[in-house]
Structure 1
Amino acid sequence: MGHARALYDFFETPAARRKHDDAVSEDFGFPARPIDRPDDDRTRLNKQLFHITYSRLRYNETRKPWPDTILACLHDRCVEFIQHLLVHGAPLVGPDDAPTWQALLDRLTSGHQLLIARPFLPTGVAPGYHFDTGAKLESGRSELTRPCIASQ
């Protein structure tokens, strides 16, 4: 969920409003714009994960599980961003990195589970990531990336 919050900031924050050395999507020629999502998602990410608050005590796994919409609303924007990178190529994506971005895009749009691996070696972590697909999903999207409807 922490990565989801970072992605929301990346996609929604205009370059003129960035803080310090934050990277934003506009750095890559991809326009910042709000992502349609339920109002409670932003509050939930901030209050439960990133701030020590009294309100976080009311949440737990059974009474108030994490909503699917937090990740679901990011799916389409992530796909659009990767497509943008691949269309524009260098200098955004070099020839060595393009196959990895394409592999990620293929998996994200496959309707299967996305499996990501980065093996550990005796000398440390292997360079790069390996993307694979798991089971075909009934919804065509992963469990946490059901279609986002902000009015839910």
Structure 2
Amino acid sequence: MPQLSLHSPIGPLTLTEEDGKIISLDWGWGRDQTETPMLCAARDWLDTWFDDPKAAGVFPFPLEPMFGTDYQKRVWTALCAIPVGTVKTYLALAQEVGGSARSVGQAVGRNPIPILIPCHRVVAQSGLGGYSGDGGVDDKRWLLTLEGAPIPSRG
């Protein structure tokens, strides 16, 4: 599977493609570097997004998570509907897709395409909640600040 890495403000990121679709985004620099048209376009979009998320708009290329249950995929689809610069609680998302706040949190934590499937926009009722990116909650806070989203305080 072709991979392409990029430098970002939150560290190196690696995109992976299969059959013309993005299947994962990982923290760190990938071993293999292949400049396919899809990976170059996705890298360029991310560069634009890191400059101005609102100007970049919605990720315009096909995403197909490399794994996931039907429930997880339903949660990930709902994440893509959360607009730039806004947040939604795990509980509110659970009410939309079914399940509990905990099951939504587990699905969010297993998201194989973070940022592009914007799991950083989901927060706890009492604060930010967790984040499985390399920088943890600091990355989540940074991404929300970049988007101009409200940063929940601990209640």
- Work out whether the TM-score is over 0.5: no
What TM-score comes out, normalization by structure 2 length?
Answer: 0.30
Higher relative contact order (CA 8 A, sep 6+): 1
What TM-score comes out, normalization by structure 1 length?
Answer: 0.31
